[in-house]
């Protein structure tokens, strides 16, 4: 039996009715930069918590860069654009292609339990048409039922 200061002692019936629930609610977030010039190793985004990186999308007129994705202190990706272009047909949730004179790289569905960091390493100054990072992060909500 548990003791309650207000009502002294719970009966087994009352103890059965009183419950505490934890709900997971995910907030959708995004980091978007347009027309941003990057000339050196740059941390694009980092976040702490539990969630999923739904998509990293990079669009530019250059392929002279590499991307590093660290999830829960482990390097998940540390490759250059050429690697992704060469292997895009064989790797799930990776897409690299050229269209309209622009080069696209999309990485999707990267789950994290503690945190993530995304870094870009250009070999020359690059102006990015789009840098987009879309992710969902968990918010814990406590609910009590009477």
Here the tokens at position 61 are 């007129």
Task: For the chain, 146 residues long, give each residue's pLDDT as a single digit of tens.
Answer: 454 455 555 555 555 555 555 567 889 999 999 999 999 999 999 999 999 999 999 999 999 999 999 999 999 999 999 999 999 999 999 999 999 999 999 999 999 999 999 999 999 999 999 999 999 998 755 454 44
Whole-angstrom Cα distance, residue 8 to residue 1? 11
Q: Would you give the end-to-end CA distance of the chain in angstroms?
A: 17
Q: What pLDDT, on a 0 to 100 scale, did the predictor assign at position 145?
A: 47
Q: What pLDDT, on a 0 to 100 scale, did the predictor assign at position 125?
A: 96
Give 19-56 as a DSSP string. EEEEEEEEEEEEEEESSEEE-S-EEEEEEESSEEEEEE
Whole-angstrom Cα distance, residue 9 to residue 57? 57
Domains detected in the chain: 25-140 (2.60.120.1390)
Whole-angstrom Cα distance, residue 107 to residue 110? 8
Question: For residues 63 and 72, is the Cβ–Cβ distance under 8 A?
Answer: no
């Amino acid at each position: 039996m548990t003791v309650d200061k207000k009502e002294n002692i719970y009966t087994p019936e009352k103890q059965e009715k009183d419950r505490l629930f934890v709900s997971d609610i995910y907030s959708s977030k995004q980091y978007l930069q347009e027309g941003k010039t990057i000339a050196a190793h740059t941390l694009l985004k980092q976040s702490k918590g539990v969630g999923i990186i739904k998509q990293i999308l990079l669009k530019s007129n250059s392929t002279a860069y590499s991307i590093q994705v660290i999830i829960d202190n482990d390097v998940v990706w540390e490759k250059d654009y050429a690697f992704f272009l060469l292997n895009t047909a064989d790797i799930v949730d990776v897409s690299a292609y050229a269209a309209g004179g622009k080069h696209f790289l999309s990485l999707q569905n990267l789950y994290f339990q503690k945190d993530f960091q995304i870094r870009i390493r250009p070999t020359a100054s690059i102006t990015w048409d789009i840098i987009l990072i879309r992710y969902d992060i968990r918010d814990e909500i406590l609910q009590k039922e009477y």
